[in-house]
Homo-oligomer: A and B are copies of this chain.
Amino acid sequence: MAYTAKIKVTLRQSILDVQGKAVEHALLNLGYGSVGSARIGKYIEVSINEDDALAAERICNEICLKLLSNPVMENYSFELEKA
Contact = CB atoms under 8 A, between A and B. Distances in A.
Instruction: Please tell me how many copies of the chain the complex holds.
Output: 2
B23 A35 contact: no
Contact of A36 (B2, B36, B66): B2
Given A23-B67, A68-B23, A32 B47 contact: no
Contacts of A27: 46, 63, 67
Interface residues of A, number: 33
A70 interface: no
A53 to B, nearest CB: 13
A36 B45 CA distance: 10
Interface in A30-83: 30, 32, 34-50, 59, 62-63, 66-68
A74 to B, nearest CB: 11
